[in-house]
Amino acid sequence: MSEEQIQTIIAYVTDYGLKVVYALVIFIVGKWIAKLVCGLIKKAMKKSKVDAILVGFVSNIAYYVLMIVVIIAAVQKLGIQTTSFIAVLGAAGLAVGLALQGSLSNFASGVLIIMFRPFKIGDFVEAGGVTGVIDEIGILVVHMHTPDNKGIIVPNSQIMNAHIVNYNKHEIRRVDMVFGIGYGDDIDKTKAVLADILAKDERVLEDPAPAIAVSALADSSVNFNVRPWCDAADYWGVFLDTHESVKKRFDAEGISIPFPQTDVHLFKEES
């Protein structure tokens, strides 16, 4: 190998080596800047009291976008034409997108959840065919837990493609209950007893006023619709305690609570 060829190789290695070093510096510094910017975004959004769901979602998206820019800049420093690189990246992205249509649908649904905010962390909801409390809203899935503390992971698209019932959307809720009495019992007395039970419960709101009315003349009972209003957090307490109070007061007042019965008649045949 001649001295001229050696000099050429040294010059090539030196030039390319410097490009590699510059590319690494761009990548390392760019990654550090991306983390710094995402940290500033998180800090600013938290200071503005933005929902925690939106903070994590936006910061993650910003980080990935910045890292793509950093990688393209580093590759360009190596002397690779970024135009062709972007074209190849786009073609690869299209292929991956076709293969991951479900994931892209979940991502798009995640964006819609963040935009329209049908619920927030801590809400008790019925969504995607399941019922539970929202723990975390991710880019692709929503994490929930049931009242008996089972963990559930629901794809975002499944949630957005079905109806959503948010039981914590409003501050107050109506408690719907039905109580039956016998046909021989006094209707006016029963209404007075039910109204007294609700009036003694401090959790029941005066406005809107509770509704008590005869709703049906059933096969074996006269049914009353009892509909008080309360704070959303007191719903189950009012529901359960009212049923217990009604049973005790009905027993004390001599008001019967009918239940299905079957009469069996036996006939003896004489031989």
- Alpha-carbon distance of 264 to 271, in angstroms, equals 22
| Whole-number pLDDT of residue 51 | 63
Q: At what angle do helices 235-253 and 187-199 cross, to 10 degrees?
A: 140
* pLDDT value at 33 more than 60: yes
The average confidence (pLDDT) of the chain is 83
Domains and CATH numbers, the chain: 3-99 (1.10.287.1260), 118-166 (2.30.30.60), 172-253 (3.30.70.100)
Mean pLDDT, rounded, for 63-90? 73
**Higher per-residue pLDDT: 140 or 189:** 189
Per DSSP, the residues of 216-234 read EE-SS-EEEEEE-EEEGGG
Beta partners for residue 44, in sequence order: none
Name the pTM for this structure. Answer: 0.60
| Residue among 98, 54, 89 nearest 69 (CA) | 89
Cβ neighbours around 237 below 10 Å, total = 14
- Alpha-carbon distance of 187 to 214, in angstroms, equals 8
User: Is 154 in contact with 144 (CB distance < 8 Å)?
Assistant: yes
User: Is 109 in contact with 139 (CB distance < 8 Å)?
Assistant: no
- Alpha-carbon distance of 41 to 55, in angstroms, equals 8
- Alpha-carbon distance of 137 to 153, in angstroms, equals 10
3-state secondary structure of 180: strand
* E-assigned strand segments in 20-129: 124-127
Neighbour order of strands in the sheet with 177-181: 177-181, 222-227, 211-217
Mean pLDDT, rounded, for 97-112? 70
* pLDDT value at 264 more than 70: yes
- Alpha-carbon distance of 255 to 249, in angstroms, equals 8
Mean pLDDT, rounded, for 189-214? 95
Sign of the four-CA dihedral 117, 120, 124, 130: positive
Beta partners for residue 144, in sequence order: 134, 152
Q: Which two tokens stand for residue 169?
A: 């959307």
User: Is 176 in contact with 227 (CB distance < 8 Å)?
Assistant: yes
Per-residue pLDDT reduced to its tens digit, 160-169: 888 999 998 8
Which amino acid, residue 175? V
- Alpha-carbon distance of 178 to 251, in angstroms, equals 17
Q: Which two tokens stand for residue 102?
A: 């479900």
Residues of the chain above pLDDT 90, percent: 40
CA angle 69-71-75, nearest 5°?
A: 120
Q: Please tell me which of 53-67, 226-240, 251-265 the model is most confident about, judged by mean pLDDT.
A: 226-240
Q: Please tell me which of 17-26, 53-62, 179-188 the model is most confident about, judged by mean pLDDT.
A: 179-188
pLDDT band at 108 (very low <50, low <70, confident <90, very high): confident
Sign of the four-CA dihedral 84, 89, 92, 94: negative
Q: Which two tokens stand for residue 227?
A: 């509909």
Strands 211-217 and 222-227: antiparallel
